């Protein structure tokens, strides 16, 4: 019922991650509450038009309402809102920030946003990211990779292109090179600000293969809309490995040396 309401009535976009369903559930609950309020207010509006019509009340009553029903109704609405916030919204958030998957069981990716693209970095075949330091950051080395660290030699750096295997947690370390951007992948129900100087972890577990658009959810400059040129491809483990291998070859030409 919740799923049907979300998809058919609210028109929520397809969800393709494990935690995405609970985000949709919350949106559906909030809309149910709003629907109940809409019905309630409409009934009250029509009742007030009829009850206080001018033929029955030629002179205004300056004292107004005397009962406490409206107070109780207000209180009931606030109570439902509190329940949604404390027992639905907060647990979703708590799960997302406190139950991060370990890097060992995840596809680990670094992303540095910039005006107006997404820099993506994989640890390469050895599974280890090369050392990074602010002092190495240049226009061509946005991740500040230490050129002397052998672990960084096979790292793969890409633009606007993320591939991940399906049904495995994806752990992204997100940052920004210039201004505040926001990594938004609607199908994964993920949205996280990318802030210069901070490395913020964000994670999701994709459940459906496909190609999903990435958006920037902060108005970051005049080319802001170009950041929707980023795509997330969710594929089988075999396809992912094949893709990674093909990029591994290309990585040599993108070496920072």
Q: Which residues here bind Cu ion, judged by CB under 5 A? A: 181, 216, 220, 227
Q: Residue for token digits 């007030």?
A: 48
By beta-carbon proximity to Cu ion, the closer residue of 156 and 227 is 227
By beta-carbon proximity to Cu ion, the closer residue of 28 and 194 is 194
By beta-carbon proximity to Cu ion, the closer residue of 15 and 194 is 194
φ, ψ for residue 156, nearest 5 deg: -110, 125
Minimum Å distance from CB 24 to Cu ion? 25
Contact 187, 212 (CB under 8 A): yes
Nearest to 172 by CA among 133, 200, 205: 200
Minimum Å distance from CB 240 to Cu ion? 26
Minimum Å distance from CB 215 to Cu ion? 9
Rounded to a whole number of angstroms, the distance between the first and last alpha carbons of the chain is 57
Residues 198, 104: Cα–Cα separation, whole Å: 22
By beta-carbon proximity to Cu ion, the closer residue of 113 and 171 is 113
Residues 216, 233: Cα–Cα separation, whole Å: 17
φ, ψ for residue 171, nearest 5 deg: -115, 115
Residues 49, 85: Cα–Cα separation, whole Å: 34
By beta-carbon proximity to Cu ion, the closer residue of 77 and 191 is 191
Minimum Å distance from CB 113 to Cu ion? 6
């Amino acid at each position: 019922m919740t799923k049907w309401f979300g998809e058919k009535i609210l028109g929520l976009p397809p969800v393709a991650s494990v935690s995405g369903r609970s985000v949709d559930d919350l949106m559906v609950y909030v809309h149910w509450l709003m629907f109940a309020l809409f019905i309630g207010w409409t009934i009250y509006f029509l009742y007030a038009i009829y009850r206080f019509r001018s033929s029955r009340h030629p002179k205004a009553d300056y004292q107004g309402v005397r009962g406490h029903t409206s107070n109780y109704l207000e209180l009931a609405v606030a109570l439902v809102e509190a329940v949604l916030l404390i027992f639905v919204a907060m647990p979703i958030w708590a799960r997302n920030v406190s139950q991060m998957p370990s890097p060992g069981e995840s596809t680990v990716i670094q992303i540095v946003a910039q005006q107006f693209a997404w820099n993506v970095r994989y640890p390469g075949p050895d599974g280890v990211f090369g050392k990074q330091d602010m002092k190495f950051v240049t226009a061509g080395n946005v991740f500040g990779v230490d050129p002397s660290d052998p672990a960084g030699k096979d790292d793969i750096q890409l633009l606007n292109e993320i591939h991940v295997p399906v049904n495995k947690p994806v752990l992204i370390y997100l940052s920004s090179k210039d201004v505040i951007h926001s990594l938004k992948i609607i199908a994964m129900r993920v949205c996280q600000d990318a802030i210069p100087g901070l490395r913020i972890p964000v994670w999701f577990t994709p459940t459906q293969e496909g190609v999903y658009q990435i958006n920037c959810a902060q108005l970051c400059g005049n080319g802001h809309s170009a950041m929707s040129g980023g795509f997330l491809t969710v594929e089988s483990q075999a396809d992912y490995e094949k893709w990674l291998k093909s990029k591994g070859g290309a990585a040599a030409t993108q070496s920072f040396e």
